[in-house]
Structure 1
């Protein structure tokens, strides 16, 4: 397999979230994909197979396990495909459901990709789970922003959304990685979406990611899609809305994710970004 390496949601190799991309994984079994992802060592690697029916089948693997959907690896895959085959619209078949991605070139020649997620939804975050999560993070109930209540949100994968009352609280991230990984495995959570609202349309986020074998993800497109759905479902934005999520700043890999929230409770959330070849 030819493994390409890109960083998504960043404008240069020092930012964004690195992802592996295999544009032709035909004939590769699950064990081979898992081994390749472990060898790459990034939080996700995407494996693409073209069955010839108008869709591209895509599977995503962290170094430790397969995940149903990954936003930053999808953006990286779309940009890599556009650089090889030209810009346009791709229809992806993922374990989470169908996802469309559109690529275009900006005035400076950069390829910009926009994915539209599966229909998002939210679920209550049980009080016991929230208490355990806060204890692992070293947060208290007073550290939370009451205007953004805790929920579990889905946009292709499940992510608890927990909002910090201050930017300083979000910046100070230390946690028990094995304990959080165990909790997430029990609940089938992909990352923890810790957020801070700067303004009505600008947010900061950090995403602990023990299931991927990393302490923190510098840009999480799937969580951004889930978060957009969360904001719409709870009436915390007025759609149509365009949001900016800054992630990775506190870990030295600044990333920018643009989230488009359309009207309609069952419509997918748009997630836009660039990707740079490494």
Structure 2
């Protein structure tokens, strides 16, 4: 197995929660035909291969597919490269250029809402209804179930269910889905997802959304 490290992305203020992310820092050492098998073997919701740390070129894989864009891998790898003294101002997944920066303990990226297509959001009447959902709920396709915790303050409770048949029953923290929800609502959000993850968003009028959170080593 190729050398890799694990970080948790979108951890809560107490260090809990966070979605595990596999990072293969020397992505060029893993041939393209071997990457999908490695991502499946690692079993994380996403694994990111760093193909050129100098330019921010990265390749994102789920256990079963290639993703042109994903939130938690990009936030996680931006934090990791910066921690390793190899920080970049722009990441380059297949979708396009993704600016990244650090504000105290929060790592941020900026992306276009259209890059996060394919994740359906569904509002529930209460946090209790979201919490009571089975994992996964019946049905097919990516579901982001959410309810307001405090609508005036922009605080949301959410759970993410990929429902894509690759063994990931529930996603602990889903940046792309939070980005989608923020764009749909047209407002900044603080999303509490999974067992203890926190995702921050900031909306802009040009169709981009900032996505941020804390990261820690696995």
1:10 matched to which residue of 2?
11
Distance 1:14 1:69, change over 3 A: same
Q: Given the alignment of the two structures, is residue 164 of structure 1 paired with residue 165 of structure 2, yes or no?
A: no
Deviations 1:121-169 (A, max 9, x none): xxxxxxxxxxxxxxxxxxxxxxxxxxxxxxxxx4434211110012221
> Is the 8 Å Cα contact of residues 244 and 257 (structure 1) preserved in structure 2?
yes
Q: Given the alignment of the two structures, is residue 256 of structure 1 paired with residue 198 of structure 2, yes or no?
A: yes
- State the distance in 1 between where 2:155 and 2:115 align: 19
- State the distance in 2 between where 1:63 and 1:229 align: 27
- State the distance in 2 between where 1:213 and 1:68 align: 21
2:159 matched to which residue of 1?
206
SS at match of 2:208: coil
- State the distance in 1 between where 2:48 and 2:96 align: 15
TM-score (norm 1): 0.70
SS at match of 1:214: coil
Which residue of 169, 181, 184 corresponds with 1:215? 169
Number of residue pairs matched by the alignment: 213
1:47-86 to 2 correspondence within 5 Å?
A: 47-50=49-52, 55-85=55-85
Deviations 1:53-108 (A, max 9, x none): xx322111112222222211111101110110165x4312222222111134x2xx
1:1-278 to 2 correspondence within 5 Å?
A: 1-11=2-12, 14-50=16-52, 55-85=55-85, 89-104=88-103, 106=104, 110=105, 112-118=106-112, 120=113, 154-174=114-134, 180=139, 183-184=140-141, 191-198=142-149, 199-200=151-152, 201-211=154-164, 212-232=166-186, 237=187, 242-249=188-195, 254-262=196-204, 264=205, 266-278=206-218
Distance 1:58 1:157, change over 3 A: farther
> Is the 8 Å Cα contact of residues 16 and 197 (structure 2) preserved in structure 1?
no
RMSD: 2.2
Task: Please state which structure has a larger fraction of its residues in helix.
Answer: 1
SS at match of 2:177: helix
SS at match of 2:63: coil
Gaps of 5+ in 2: none
SS at match of 2:77: helix
